[in-house]
Amino acid sequence: MKSSDIKAGMELPPVSHLVTRPNILRYGSMVGAFNAEHEEDDFAQDVGYGEIFAHGIMHLNYVTQMLCDFAGHPERLKKIDIDFGAPVYSDEIVTARGRVRDVVKEGGVLRVTCEVWSEKQDGTRVTDKGTAELELECD
């Protein structure tokens, strides 16, 4: 896509992931985030959840993937800020979504501000009130 095609209001190509129990367990181990509500069903139930659920940061990774795919390189993602919301359980699909809010050309750089979020297949927002800033080269 040419940078001149990027306009306020355009939707970013979404990125979807199926969250599975093995993914949840591996993710915590991989990032060193050991928390009983993400690893032990009994504990998760004791604190009000039906079973273990995915780490919120997993969903931030999905949003980051979407932004980097759109920008064409991870170094072009300059800032991301997002709130975490609803838990995601095994066998739920999470889709990262975004929309261009503002585009400013400064010299040879295009500064793109996006609204970003992720949601379950039923539309429940998993992350919300997200803002991201990208710097793209002008064509």
CATH number at residue 65: 3.10.129.10
The per-residue pLDDT for 59 is: 87
CA distance 128 to 118: 7
**C-alpha to C-alpha distance for 6 and 114, rounded to whole angstroms:** 11
Considering the chain, what percentage of its residues have pLDDT values greater than 70? Answer: 100
Average pLDDT over residues 35-40: 83
Pairing of strands 125-137, 15-19: unpaired
Pairing of strands 109-120, 92-106: antiparallel
Q: How many structural domains is the chain composed of?
A: 1
Quote the pLDDT of residue 38: 83
- Mean pLDDT for 47-52 is 89
24 lies in which domain range? 3-137
Q: Which residue has the tokens 């032990």?
A: 40
User: How much is the pLDDT for 50?
Assistant: 87
pLDDT: which is higher, 97 or 36: 97
CA–CA distance, 91 with 98 (Å, rounded to integer): 23
